[in-house]
Structure 1
Amino acid sequence: MKYGVAAFPSKKLQDIANSYRKRYDPHYELITPHMTLKDPFEVDASQIKEMAAEMRNIASRHKPFKLHATRVSTFSPVNTTLYFKVEPTAEIKGLHEDLNSDFFGGTSKHSFIPHITIGQKLSDTEHADVYGQLKMAGIDHEEIIDRVHLLYQLEDGSWTVYETFRLTGDDQ
């Protein structure tokens, strides 16, 4: 089964992201706006309890962190994804590193760029047009994230929460 780890922002930021995602993201109905902390990975169902226990350990080592969405950006020319850039704090990077340990299938295939996707799979022309507009509109939103979520993918391609873990920093 395919799993992943994400942090969900507040309803306020989700509503802002969804105002764009409805139109520009074909995955709009598959998952709510989120910041991916661990890319999708395969785990046998017999290992999920052990995976959840390790997630609890990781959550106990990390404190809540500030999510600061600072601007609209893009992964162009690699692809036409548009996103809210999240400032890469030491807390976010540390959590990402813990979640990309050997226990969780090793390091990520991509450089970690904290973000919340607002559009993807756009044509080059649409990407250029939409990016220009959204870049001018901008974003400046701060909030505290105090939990992360282990997600799994359903047969229809949508993602749902398997378990939620509070970031406590108790075990430091």
Structure 2
Amino acid sequence: MTPVTYGIAIFPSKEIQDEANSYRKRYDPRYSLIPPHITLKESFEATQEEIKEIEKACSELAKKVKPFDIHIGRVSSFSPTTETIYLRVDDHDQLTYLNEKMHEEPFPDNREFKFVPHITISQELSEDEHSDVYGSLKMLSFDLYDTVDRFQLLYQLEDGSWTVHETFKLGEG
């Protein structure tokens, strides 16, 4: 059986998703593939046996973390590494803890970049487009708050879109 591609993310409130989507519709070609989210664990491949272990680890991890509040206050960019523009989620110990634990056994340690909590609103633009869009968006201020009380284990479908495999509620158990 071939491995399946998985990822782990937090889906923010409808209010924050609507705000992010107001930009994603115009500036993110992957808009239709997944709702706005905070990536906790970038995509990885796993077999059926491996994903059972990862589900168990997610469940145990979720029990150890109480729901917590996050704040989004500005737009930022990963340029020059990539032409990605995002809503910056303020650093939070619980987000960092979840990300760190998701790079320990039984999870694959496939970390490519330092963890920066964010919600992508623009990607795959040309350098000039990125410069124009980022120039106008970085002047905006945001003051968005949300309570994180769950995270989702997702899997990727053949068309490239993502769907929820399982939801893990924080602090339960």
TM more than 0.5: yes
Q: In the alignment, what sits opposite 1:138?
A: 141
User: Does the 8 A contact of 2:74 with 2:142 survive in 1?
Assistant: yes
- Number of aligned pairs? 170
1:18-167 → structure 2 map (5 Å cutoff): 18-106=21-109, 108-167=111-170
Contact 1:65 1:92 in 2 (8 A): no
Q: Secondary structure at the match of 1:83?
A: strand
Q: Per-residue displacement from partner, 1:115-157 (whole Å, max 9, x unpaired)?
A: 0000001111111111111111222211111000000000000
Residue 9 of structure 1 pairs with residue 12 of structure 2: yes
Contact 2:25 2:31 in 1 (8 A): yes
Task: Indicate conservation of the 8 Å contact 1:101/1:107, yes or no.
Answer: no
Structure 2: any 5+ residue segments left out of the alignment?
Answer: none
Q: Which ranges in structure 1 are unaligned for 5 or more consecutive residues?
A: none
| Higher-helix-fraction structure | 1
C-alpha contact (below 8 Å) 2:53/2:106 kept by paired residues:
no
TM-score by length of 2: 0.94
> How far, CA to CA, are the matches of 1:118 and 1:109 in structure 2?
20
- Partners of 2:16 and 2:144 within 8 A in 1: yes
Alpha carbons 2:44, 2:110 under 8 Å: kept:
no
Alpha-carbon RMSD: 1.2
Q: Equivalent pairs: percent with the same residue?
A: 51
